[in-house]
Each structure stands twice: as structure tokens, then as C-alpha cells.
Amino acid sequence: MAKKAIITGVTGQDGAYLTELLLKKGYEVHGIKRRASQFNTDRIDHLYQDPHVSDRNLILHYGDLTDSTNLVRIVQEVQPDEIYNLAAMSHVKVSFEMPEYAADADGIGTTRLLEAIRLLGLSEKTRFYQASTSELYGLVQEVPQSETTPFYPRSPYAVAKLYAYWITVNYREAYNMYACNGILFNHESPLRGETFVTRKITRAVAKIALGLQQHLYLGNLDAQRDWGHAKDYVEGMWRMLQQDEADDYVLATGVTTRVRDFVRMSFREVGVELEFKGEGAEETGVISEVHNDEFPLPVGTTVVSVDPRYFRPTEVELLLGDPTKAKTKLGWEPTYDLATMCAEMVRADIALFERDQLLKREGFEVRNQFE
């Protein structure tokens, strides 16, 4: 019999990569997606199977982490071997605008799933993965950060995730459930949401290189992040649920990079060198060298500025993870380095926008979104 897994947040970046991984491993995957007014399954459309086919191994269910009735119903129907709780209002800056919703979906949502497992008598059968985060570390207490570093969350998102972390530990201890926290540092990919900083940058660089955009506005260029590739990280999630005993693990690369340097790295991919001038809100990124005959802007053009609207009321300045425990106990190691991932993201965004470039050349209007 194939193992059954439920993935919440199946339409997100990690949901897509994890679905692909579990299908390859022969699982029957049940994804929970939200009802939306437009299709929201772009990232998993290549895995879609016609509901009329009888031996499908990817089944999607409508559901929401804020509604326990549907979660109980789906868990009862599926009787899963594993649940991966990836669904969340996952944007740190946006959580300052909707703190109550973040607490409900990201915090209480986790309890709703754990309670579904418990109430349905599945505590011994169903293994549970909670998408915890390096945002728990928040204000720097220790560098690098490991499973034993104290938490100091700095946003409504991180506070909600702190609750989710501890309720997962509590259900493990109180009910002997196999429940794990993956404390994952930032991980990116060509499927990354468009408003997270790496993807915002690679999209803008692609558009600027194709003559579809002139300028990129960013917030805190000094922030440092330990960026890995989502493909590596979903493998770690799966490994956490295959051990003899449940535990909590950090997944990270052990390398940290400033936002400003990721901008430089991305422009380098299109043959352009940037120089940063000024400080704080006055800082700008100016083209200092061009090694690409097709690049549309000359040396001396300012292409990056700081817009304080992207600053956060409380910022997380430095994240650098220590993945030793995952390496030792799970045999997990990242396979991507940042430059390779950055190149993959820029190339994917160029391919995405070449269609827009063609439309523009032919005289059609191309609207700019997500700037």
C-alpha cells in the first residue's frame, strides 16, 4: 500500500516541491488548497491529474487552516501516514498589517490540525511536520543559530509561528505524537513568491535586462539571510518524518549574505556590475560596468533605490544557521550554493518575461505587476 500524505499549503513554493518529491517516492498525496476567485494551482499544474482517472495519486481538497471542520473531515477521510503543515500567511511584512489573521492561520491553525489527529485517534499512526522558521530567532541572541539558540520573535508572523512551534512540542510530549519542527532558514527558487526579496530582485533584473522596467525599489539592503534552495529543504522535511523518534531540526546552509550582495549577484548574471553609493534611505545602486551588448541601460544609470515603505517596524538583521544536527542525524546537506540558485532564478525570470518583451515589440501593452 502506498503511504498517504496530506500537504497543507500545497499551492505554495514548498508545497509544489514537496508534492513532486513525495509523488516520486510513490506516495498518494492529498493537497489542501484554498478556494480562490482565480486558479491558484500554477505551481502544481504540471502534476495535475484528471479527477475522472481512477488511480490518481494527487488529490486536491478545498480547505483552510482557519476552519477546523474541514480539516477534521479531510484527515478523517484520508487517514494519512504523514501530514506536512506548510500552509501559512507567510509574509513577515504583511503580518504587521494583519496580525490577527496571522495568529489564526499560522498559530491556531497548527492546533486545529494536531487536534484533528488526536480526536480521530490517529496519534500513533499519523506523523506531523510543522513548518517552523528561522524568524523565531529574530533579535540576535547568538550566531550561528541552532536548535538550542533562544527565540526572540520580531513580527506578528514570528510570534504566531512561536506558538505553533511550542504546541507541536507540547503534543509530542503530552500525547506521544510523532511531531517535528523543521526550523528552516530562508529558501528560495524560481517558484518563490514574487514579493519575497530574492524573487523580487531576480524578476526586476530580468525585466530591466529585457527593457521592460527601469528601476527597482527595495527596503533594508543591510539585512543578512542564510539563503538555500527549496528543493533541498523539502528533502529535509521528508527525512525528519522517517526517523525512529520525533525531534526538531535546523535546515540552513551555514552561509549568510546581505540583500545588497544578492542584488549585485543577480545583476552580474546579466553582465552588469553595480556600485552602491550613499547610506540608509539615500542609498542607490548605480551601473558601473556593462558586459552585455543587449543590455538597454548605460553605465552611470541608477537602477536601485531604497524606499522606506519596505522597512519593517521591527527587523531581523542577521540570520545564519548551524545545520550540524540535520547533517549528523538526518544525513541532510544542501546541494545548491547561492550563486547557482541565483543564476537559476534570473534565467527562469528572463524566460518568463521574454514573452512580454515580444508583446511589447509588437505594440501590445505590457502591465507591470508586483513592483
Active site residues per annotation = 133, 135, 157
Q: Which residues pair with 258 in a beta bridge?
A: 224
- Residue 41: HSE in the Cβ half-sphere, 13 Å Cα cutoff: 18
Pairing relationship of beta strands 284-290 and 272-277 according to DSSP bridges? antiparallel
Give the x-and-dash track for 143-182 against ligand NDP (CB under 6 A).
----------------------------------------
Determine, following the binding rule CB under 6 A, whether residue 40 of this chain makes contact with ligand NDP.
yes
**Part of the chain binding ligand NDP (CB under 6 A), chosen from 13-21, 50-58, 203-211, 298-306:** 13-21
Kindly report the backbone phi and psi dihedral angles of residue 243, in degrees, each rounded to the nearest multiple of 5, phi listed first: -90, 175
Which option in ligand NDP, ligand GDR, none does residue 14 bind, with CB closer than 5 to 8 A by kind? Answer: ligand NDP
Give least dist CB 91 to ligand NDP, A: 7
Give least dist CB 165 to ligand NDP, A: 11
Q: Nearest 5°: CA angle at 161, between 341 and 237?
A: 45
Which option in ligand NDP, ligand GDR, none does residue 200 bind, with CB closer than 5 to 8 A by kind? Answer: ligand GDR
Judged by CB under 6 A, the residue of 32, 71, 116, 218 near ligand GDR is: 218
Site residues for ligand NDP, 127-146, by CB under 6 A, read 131, 133
Q: For 88-155, where are the alpha helices, taking DSSP H only?
A: 92-95, 99-102, 109-119
User: What is the C-alpha separation between 235 and 354, in angstroms, rounded?
Assistant: 32
Give least dist CB 94 to ligand GDR, A: 9
User: What is the C-alpha separation between 182 and 171, in angstroms, rounded?
Assistant: 15
Q: Which amino acid is at 334?
A: P
Q: Nearest 5°: CA angle at 68, between 187 and 45?
A: 45
CA 293 to chain centre: 35
Q: Considering beta carbons, is residue 185 or 267 the nearer one to ligand NDP?
A: 185
Count other Cβ atoms within 10 Å, centred on residue 108.
Answer: 17
CA 150 to chain centre: 23
Cβ atoms 344, 238 nearer than 8 A: no
Determine, following the binding rule CB under 6 A, whether residue 90 of this chain makes contact with ligand GDR.
yes
**Part of the chain binding ligand NDP (CB under 6 A), chosen from 83-91, 332-340, 341-349, 360-368:** 83-91
**Part of the chain binding ligand GDR (CB under 6 A), chosen from 19-27, 279-287, 307-315, 348-356:** 307-315
Binding-site entries for NADP(+): 215
Q: Enumerate binding residues for ligand GDR (CB under 6 A).
A: 90, 92-93, 133-135, 186, 195-197, 200, 218-220, 223, 225, 259, 310, 312, 315-316
